[in-house]
């Protein structure tokens, strides 16, 4: 089996206005989805949730604010799954809660 990164992008990861109940429901969706992958023995590791702020360093020493200055979606987090192929890893990405919020899941093989 190979490792694949599932990168979660959403137009907004700002849940500051969500109620406690809404946050619990969102967290449950994520837990249930990742738990289903883990139950199959295919969860390699779970990445931490990323902060909203950051910097981007470009060639020539140019530093800009925010990791998402030039894109409309925010990379919020990632997990690493085990799969035999890119197609299988893509199947594991189905049901990701980021998709419920008009987001996307980028599936990338990890060299190693």
Contact 99, 24 (CB under 8 A): no
Query: And the tokens for 39?
Result: 């139950």
When divided into structural domains, the chain yields a total of: 1
Structural domain that includes position 22 = 2-109
pTM of the predicted model as reported, rounded to 2 decimal places: 0.78
- CATH number, domain with residue 7: 3.30.70.1060
Q: How far apart are CA 15 and CA 8, in angstroms?
A: 15
Tens-place pLDDT, residues 42-83: 999 877 666 666 777 777 887 777 655 555 666 778 899 999
């Amino acid at each position: 089996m190979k490792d694949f990164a599932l990168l979660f992008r959403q137009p907004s990861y700002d849940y500051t206005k969500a109620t406690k109940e809404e946050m619990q429901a969102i967290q449950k969706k994520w837990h249930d989805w990742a738990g289903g992958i883990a139950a199959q023995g295919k969860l390699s590791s779970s990445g931490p949730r990323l902060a909203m702020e950051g910097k981007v360093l470009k060639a020539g020493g140019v530093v800009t604010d925010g990791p998402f200055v030039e894109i409309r979606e925010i990379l919020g987090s990632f997990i690493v799954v085990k799969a035999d192929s890119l197609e299988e890893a893509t199947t594991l990405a189905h049901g990701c809660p980021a998709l419920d919020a008009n987001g996307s899941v980028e599936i990338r093989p990890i060299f190693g």
